[in-house]
Structure 1
Amino acid sequence: MFRRVRETGPALLIPSAWALVAAAHLGVVTTHPVFVMHAVMSVLLVAFAAASWGDMASGVLRAWRTVIVAGTPFAVVGLVGFARPDAPAALFALALGGWMLLPAAGFGYTARELPAGAWVYAAATAGCPVGAGLYAYGTVAGSTTVQIVGIAVVGVAQTAGIVDAVVRF
């Protein structure tokens, strides 16, 4: 059962995480659930990497193992940001930007290595920086709407890629 959860869980967790981020930006939820999400993500990422280390030793899975290991500090930075009442905005920018952009490397590698579904992974690769750019523009312009569009682009891109991987492989 644990193996099945490891193989399919990300298809639920990734869209849920981006939906929660969007909900917090819209004021639908407080930042406390996002703090909890970062705590859970930090633990799950480490547990997932440890439990899957051998299974993810080569090929595309090794690239994703690298994304998970490199991304864990971004989750921890977000956790620290939410734990500090006077947290600098840079902590949130690092956490959000890291998770918007880092998966693009995994999707890009996957698109090159796996012809089956390459177009989905290429689209996910493109969606990450496009969404991050929209979010950054929305932040500078003071437009929550543009920020939400950026979050949605990233969320849809990453969800499409991970759902394709879960279904296809």
Structure 2
Amino acid sequence: MLRRLRETAPAGLVPLAWTFATAAHLELLAVRTVLAGHVVMDVLLLAFAVLSWDDMRDHLVLRAWLGVIVVGFGVTLVGTYALAVGDESLARLTVLGWMLLPALALLYTGRVLPAAERASLYTLGGALSGVGAVAFAVGVAPVAALVAVGVGQTLGILVAVVEY
């Protein structure tokens, strides 16, 4: 049961995380709430990395995603710190980190997997996430950027859950 949860839970957690990030950007959530969300993400990412390490380290694509989880854990810890001390610039860098890490992994996944495994959908998800990251980084339509990233990354995780 735990294995199935690890395989399917991200399909709900990814869109939830980007909805949460968008709500935080729109100041619909208190900083304290966002900080609590980061602490939960810290715990979930660490648990996922530890529990999935053996399953993910031997496959090229899964190893790339394990890297996203491990590096993303560090990025999320930085975001937790940024929220705790009120460092808005560091918090924005955290969001940008979570935009770019999966974008790169999605593009890599799309390049490595055969077309029969819906590689083009991973590439599309990576492209949406990358475009959103660039828009966010330069301050162009930040809400639209967050939505683009959320849609791109959700597409990627949904394809992964359906395919595997």
**TM-score, structure 2 as length reference:** 0.92
Q: What CA RMSD, in Å, does the superposition of the two structures yield over aligned residues? A: 1.3
Aligned pair 1:137/2:138, yes or no? yes
Q: Give the Cα–Cα distance (whole angstroms) in 2 for the partners of residues 2 and 33 of structure 1.
A: 28
Q: Give the Cα–Cα distance (whole angstroms) in 1 for the partners of residues 92 and 28 of structure 2.
A: 20
Shift of 1:54: 0.5
Corresponding letter in the other structure for 2:121? V
Number of the residue aligned with 2:21:
21
Q: How many residues get paired?
A: 161
Conserved in 2, the CA contact under 8 Å of 1:14 and 1:155? yes
Shift of 1:32: 2.3
- Cα deviation, 1:105-153, whole Å, max 9, x if unaligned, reads 2112211222211111101111122101222233xx6xxxx11000000
- Cα deviation, 1:4-58, whole Å, max 9, x if unaligned, reads 1100111111100100111122222222222112111111111111101100022
The DSSP-based 3-state class of the residue aligned with 2:29 is coil
Conserved in 2, the CA contact under 8 Å of 1:77 and 1:94? no
The DSSP-based 3-state class of the residue aligned with 1:53 is helix
**TM-score, structure 1 as length reference:** 0.90
Q: Percent identity?
A: 46
Number of the residue aligned with 2:37:
37
The DSSP-based 3-state class of the residue aligned with 1:55 is helix
Conserved in 1, the CA contact under 8 Å of 2:96 and 2:136? no
Corresponding letter in the other structure for 1:105? L
Q: Give the Cα–Cα distance (whole angstroms) in 1 for the partners of residues 101 and 8 of structure 2.
A: 20
Number of the residue aligned with 2:145:
150
Number of the residue aligned with 1:161:
156
Q: Give the Cα–Cα distance (whole angstroms) in 1 for the partners of residues 152 and 100 of structure 2.
A: 11
Number of the residue aligned with 1:71:
72
Conserved in 2, the CA contact under 8 Å of 1:53 and 1:65? yes
Number of the residue aligned with 1:128:
129
Conserved in 2, the CA contact under 8 Å of 1:63 and 1:106? yes
Gaps of 5+ in 2: none
Runs of at least 4 residues of structure 1 off by over 3 A? Answer: none
Q: Give the Cα–Cα distance (whole angstroms) in 2 for the partners of residues 44 and 94 of structure 1.
A: 21
Number of the residue aligned with 2:48:
48
- Cα deviation, 1:88-118, whole Å, max 9, x if unaligned, reads 3231122111000011221122112222111
Corresponding letter in the other structure for 1:88? D
Q: Give the Cα–Cα distance (whole angstroms) in 2 for the partners of residues 162 and 33 of structure 1.
A: 25
